[in-house]
Structure 1
Amino acid sequence: MTPTWLLRGDAAPEPGTEPDQETQRTDAPAEKGPPNGRLRRAALAATAAALVLGGCGFFYAAHQVRSQAPAQNHALTDTEATTRVAGEVGDALARIFSYTPDGTAAAERSATTVLDGRAARQYETLFARVRDDLAEQRVTLSTRAVRTGVIELDGDRARLLVFLDQTSHRGEDKAKGKATTAAAQLTVTARLDDDRWRIVDIKAR
């Protein structure tokens, strides 16, 4: 058992409703110059203007973020701290959600060192329900953090978005057993405690 945490299309004309082409050729006023060319140039000009205005808005917003947010959000300014919290949280999630049929105890021991608060209670409740089933069905689960982004970093607290890949096997022989792969996306809150980042909340997105 794997934990769950990671156009303009115009309608075709109806038969019999096609316009009389001879009437079109006779009644349509003569055009001076190719209208399609004029329309195309007008559309291109409008698109270019929209791109310029949109670009100005984007750069203004980026300037606002650089000017206002860094005082509170060190994820934008402190590269070393951001890299550290992302690495520790990603490694922690991989450890506590990876186990063999005989190795759930190791995952649970890891959880006691990297989880706290609500996250610790969530994990304990999960394993209380599935521990026996994992051993009986001989489930092996491998988890890795494929991408970890720090959304906010303020002193000793951080909020992250983590993408996980999980691969599970049932039975003794992993080489012959059918693997099941799943992805998970989590929002994680972590707290710096005794110079170690501990996960205090986990929410599936």
Structure 2
Amino acid sequence: MSTVKPLLASARQHLVLILSAIMLAVGVVGLWTAYDIRSADAAQNLAVVDEEATAAVQSEVSQALVSVLSYDYADPTPTEQAADAVLAGDARTEYDKLFASLQERAPGQQLTLTAQVQVAAVKTLTDDSAELLVFLDQSSQRATDKEASVSAAQLAVDAEKVDGAWKVTGLTPL
């Protein structure tokens, strides 16, 4: 019986060593997994991890699009001012071309456009840039013949944060 006690003590020591090694391995794997998850692309995309920032860019870009895609032939100034405030880069260049065409024909047709964003989803978001997918409706009303229509559009929108505000820098119809 006296030889059994040393064998049990030796077995316990081996068991403690084995369990310690297993716990150490699990800890190392856990740390590595946590590091890997935090450094993944999804973790760097604020649209996935920052609900408040995502809501802010959705709201600002939606308001910007409504303001530049709504137009009243009798008073185009608010639309022009909105474009100055919220558009930049390629979006501004393209918009200026479309706006010039609209200004030519709108007074003769007495055209009024009203835009309404239905859904704006943020695909990617960093501290200073965002990519969105926006679904919007634009209704038009011509006073000359009482013609009205509604059209739907899907846009890929690029935005950049400039001086604390989001500016639309790219508009691509889908």
* Structure 2: distance between partners of 1:76 and 1:66: 12
2:172 corresponding residue in structure 1: 203
Residue number in structure 2 paired with 1:184:
153
Per the alignment, residue 68 of structure 2 pairs with 96
CA spacing shift, 1:100–1:73, aligned 2, 3 Å = same
Greater strand content:
2
Residue in 1 aligned with 2:136? Answer: 164
Moved more, 160-169 or 67-76: 67-76
Aligned length: 139
Q: Distance in 1 between matches of 2:147 and 2:38?
A: 49
Of the three residues 84, 91, 95, the one matched with 1:123 is: 95
Stretches of structure 1 that go unaligned for 5 or more consecutive residues are 1-63
Q: Choose between structure 1 and 2 for higher RCO, CA contacts under 8 A separated by at least 6 residues.
A: 1
Give 1:105 shift.
2.2
Deviation at 1:83? 0.1
Q: Which amino acid aligns with 1:153?
A: L
Residue of structure 2 in register with 1:18 after alignment = none
Aligned identity (percent) is: 37
TM superposition shift of 1:156: 0.3
1:65 Cα deviation (Å)?
Answer: 8.6
* 2-structure distance, mates of 1:168, 1:134: 11
Q: Secondary structure of the equivalent of 2:130? A: strand
For residues 9-48 of structure 1, give each alpha carbon's deviation from its aligned partner in whole angstroms, at most 9, with x where no partner exists.
xxxxxxxxxxxxxxxxxxxxxxxxxxxxxxxxxxxxxxxx
Structure 2 residue corresponding to 1:139, chosen from 111, 135, 153: 111
Whether contact under 8 Å (2:86, 2:166) holds in the other structure is yes
| Pairwise CA distance, 1:178 | 3.1
**Deviation at residue 132 of structure 1 after TM alignment:** 1.8
- The alpha-carbon deviation at position 71 of structure 1 amounts to 3.2
The unaligned stretches of length 5 or more in structure 2 are 1-35
One-letter amino acid of the structure 1 residue matched with residue 82 of structure 2: S
Greater helix share, 1 or 2? 2
Q: Output one character per residue of 1:42-95: Cα deviation in whole Å (capped at 9) or x when no partner.
A: xxxxxxxxxxxxxxxxxxxxxx99982333211000000000000000011001
2:45 equivalent in structure 1:
73
Letter of the structure 1 residue corresponding to residue 83 of structure 2: A
| 2:147 alignment partner, SS class | coil
- State TM-score, norm by structure 1: 0.64
Q: Deviations over 1:97-130 (max 9, x none)?
A: 1111112221011100000111111111111222
Letter in 1 for 2:62: G
SS in 1 for 2:62: helix
CA RMSD of the aligned region, Å? 1.9
